[in-house]
Amino acid sequence: METGSAPARHRVVLFAVLSLGTAAILAVSACSSAVQSPGTRVGQPAEAPFAWFNAAPAPAGWKTMELPDGTGVLSIPPDAAPAESDPGSLSATATSSTGDLRIYLNATPRQGSESLDNWIAFRLDHLADENSSPPTKIADRNGMAFLGGTGSCVEDSYVTHVGNNRYREIACLVAGNKGSSVLIVAASADSWPLYGPVLERAVDAYRAE
């Protein structure tokens, strides 16, 4: 999904065609526990790109999933559960009681020519190839001090070929002692004010190995 390989691209398309439901449903039936706890981040001034970023262990009650190659550990909120993923990758989702997808999290070992230096352009080029229009970059930052490693991240939104749905994501390449991995967290652009804070926490808690 994250690195531009054929199986990875299929994961982007799979996520893109899933429905997140209407804004009314999201507002009434928000995920319990962590997803309902945006804390002080909503409306926080962005003095610098990714000003909210603060690498730290996940809150109590979150679960962890380790990549099979040992390059990264993904933390997911209590309402999320492991989901089908490409071999060697990890995915998790949180859904409503009716099965509508709310948030999507994925970690994948680095598979292509992406690097900390070229990651932002690499990711945006990949999204432009896969979707109906060039993505809109919201923010980017290099040299981020993740737990156990260093990362480059981009936050963006894009519109899918299928359904013309707009999604918002944070995509990071994180390098640790054992290698590099890609972290993707995403939700409907319309629901980002509700779910963005918990996805930011997942970025904070991602650990390189």
The confidence band for 101, taking pLDDT boundaries of 50, 70 and 90, is confident
- Max Cα distance, the chain (Å): 44
Residue 99 burial (CB < 10 Å; 0-12/13-18/19+)? exposed
Return mean pLDDT, the chain: 84
Does residue 29 surpass a pLDDT of 60?
no
Q: Is residue 18 part of a domain?
A: yes
pLDDT higher than threshold 70 for residue 15: no
Render the chain in DSSP notation, one character per residue. Answer: --SS-HHHHHHHHHHHHS----HHHHHHS--SGGGG--TT-TT---SSTTTT----PPPTT-EEEE-TTSSEEEEE-TT-EEE---TT-EEEEEE-TT--EEEEEEEEE--SS--TTTHHHHHHHHHHHHSSSPPEEEEEEEEEEEBTEEEEEEEEEEE-TTTT-EEEEEEEEEEETTEEEEEEEEEETTTHHHHHHHHHHHHHH-EE-
pLDDT band at 163 (very low <50, low <70, confident <90, very high): confident
Task: Report the alpha-carbon distance of residue 201 to residue 207 in Å, rounded.
Answer: 12
Report the CATH number at residue 160.
3.40.1000.10
CB atoms within 10 A of CB 45: 7
101, part of any domain:
yes
Tens-place pLDDT, residues 178-200 = 999 999 999 999 999 999 999 99
Residue 42 lies in a domain: no
pTM: 0.80
Q: Tokens representing 82?
A: 């492991």
Q: What is the total count of domains within the chain? A: 1
Q: What residues make up the domain containing 163?
A: 6-37+59-208
**Is residue 165, in this structure, part of any structural domain at all?**
yes
Q: Looking at the domain assignment, is residue 12 inside a domain?
A: yes
53 occurs within a structural domain = no
Cα–Cα distance measured from residue 88 to residue 181, given in angstroms and rounded to the nearest whole number? 11
Q: Which residues contact 22 (CB under 8 A, 6 or more apart)?
A: none
Interacting residues of 120 by C-beta distance below 8 A, sequence separation 6+ = 137, 140, 142, 152, 154
The answer to whether position 49 is within a domain reads no
User: 160: which 2 tokens?
Assistant: 């899918």
- CA dist 31 and 10 (Å) reads 27
The sign of the torsion formed by the CA atoms of 175, 176, 182, 183 equals negative
Is 148 within the bounds of a domain? Answer: yes
